[in-house]
Amino acid sequence: MVEKLKSVLKTPKLRSGAKALVLALSLYALPLWVTGALAFLFYFWPVTFSLGFMGTFISLSIVSAVLFGAAPSFITALAAGVVFFLLLGIKNVLFLHRFSLFLLCLGFIVFSSVWGFFSGLVSLPVLAVMIFLAVRDGLAAFTPFPKKASLFAAVSALVVSEMSWAVFYLNIPDHWATVSVILVFIGVIFMTIEYLRGHLFKSEAPFWATALAVVAFAIAIIASF
């Protein structure tokens, strides 16, 4: 039995899945500092490519702790574990479509962070830092101009934080506030990626970004009444 388990864990994807499952169980059943120590160990073992997505790892760790603190259930812990599994696979080059999977991780982090802000669980500076770290990793890893990643990540973080701050004073329900900010963020990221790839004016990114901004504005206004 032990030998069979060892042979199974030699498979990189299964090994990453086992790490994620242990981490989810730890988040659910053990003190937070134990989960943090395990997450650090699992992420940096092996250490190869770890620095490339360390910002995303930090943001995911903060978001997972905040979410579980607000809703301490096994579903919350499992969701955090699944995203951690995806991040391990992206870092260790285990998946074919790494960029698409990274966008899923980024979406989870941004949505949870923005919701945390409107729920009073995350401060505005912390929100901006988490967005910056995760977006910078993605732009540096998956676009042709990694040296510009920090600049555009800072712009994305500024847009999200400023809009979150503005929407906060409309006093609308948390879920609608979160959706309106996320729609604008999707448009900004879409345009940024297309610009860095040199396809901005050849694509429909400006149209969709504008359409998403209009929808977000309409949601915010309607929800405020």
The reply to whether 212 and 192 lie within a common domain is yes
Q: What is the mean pLDDT of residues 43-67?
A: 92
Residue range 190-199: mean pLDDT, rounded: 87
CA–CA dist 4, 141 (Å, integer): 36
Domain that holds residue 21: 1-95
Instruction: Tell me which of 67-71, 91-95, 186-190, 200-204 is least confident.
Output: 200-204
pLDDT > 70: percent of the chain: 96
Kindly provide the b/e burial profile for residues 189-206, where b requires at least 16 CB atoms within 10 angstroms of the residue's own CB: bbbbbbbbeeeeeeeebe
Considering the domain architecture, whether residues 91 and 102 belong to the same structural domain is answered as: no
pLDDT above 60 for 35? yes
In terms of domains, do 43 and 78 share one? yes
Residues 124, 138: Cα–Cα separation, whole Å: 22
User: Among 71, 95, 119, which residue terminates a domain?
Assistant: 95
Could you report the per-residue pLDDT of 119-167, keeping only the tens digit for each?
Answer: 999 999 999 999 999 999 999 999 988 889 999 999 999 999 999 999 9
Count structural domains, the chain: 2
| Residues 46, 144 within the same domain | no
Token couple for 192: 């940024």
Note whether 135 and 152 are within 8 A (CB): yes
Question: Whole-model pTM?
Answer: 0.92
Examine the fold and report which residue of 95, 125, 155 is the final residue of a domain before the chain moves on.
Answer: 95
pLDDT of the residue at 204: 81
